[in-house]
Amino acid sequence: MTQFDSIKGRVNEVMLRLPLVVGNAGVNWVKDSFRIQGFRTVSNFGIAWYPRKDKSSKNAGRDVLIKTGRLRRSYRVLSYTATSVTIGSDLVYAAVHNEGLTIRHPGGSRVLHFKSTSQNIKTGKLKGKFSKERKADYAQKVDIKPYDIKMPKRQAMPTSETDSPIFVRDMENVIKEQFKDIF
């Protein structure tokens, strides 16, 4: 066996495992976004995610986009061939968080049901809590104006090469690392 054949064999070995190695490095890169609570673009710090809107005690100290960890764990190598690898998540809401979304709610009329808890002696008005229709003491029709529901963009995974040059650089370094012992 010549030296050329030996190098060719080692290159072929690297080429077989390279898509999976790069894919796993990409998944780890995405999971780092959850760790740093932001998206690295040009620097190692990049863009911090918008803070959580709900500041209640149940969310105190909890990282953004982390409740059960399901979203973070869902990122994986979806497919790979000899020349490409695809990483992503099969959760529908992953794309919504990664790219942001605005939903235009049309509004409309609703009937709200209440269970009375007390009555104002002077005005005679009832105070109550929301209730299911069958348990309600009274109901009230309300008109709801159109409104927007905005989910801020909290990008964890690049969607193109221009999103994060640092991601491209990191993946190039992974590839170089795989070939360094051959030559």
Q: What type of residue sits at position 151?
A: M
Which residues lie closer than 8 Å to 127 by C-beta, 6 or more apart?
116, 117, 118, 119, 120
Which residues lie closer than 8 Å to 167 by C-beta, 6 or more apart?
26, 29, 40, 158
In terms of average pLDDT, the best of 107-111, 134-138, 166-170, 176-180 is 107-111
Residues of the chain with pLDDT > 90, as a percent, come to 37
**Which pair of tokens denotes residue 55?**
């500041």
* Contact status, residue 112 vs residue 130, Cβ threshold 8 Å: yes
* Contact status, residue 21 vs residue 174, Cβ threshold 8 Å: yes
pLDDT per residue over 161-179, tens digit each? 667 788 888 888 888 888 8
- pLDDT at residue 77, rounded to an integer: 95
Domain residue spans in the chain? 3-105+156-179, 108-144
* Contact status, residue 114 vs residue 137, Cβ threshold 8 Å: yes
Closest C-alpha to 28, from 20, 128, 103: 20
User: Is pTM beyond 0.85 here?
Assistant: no
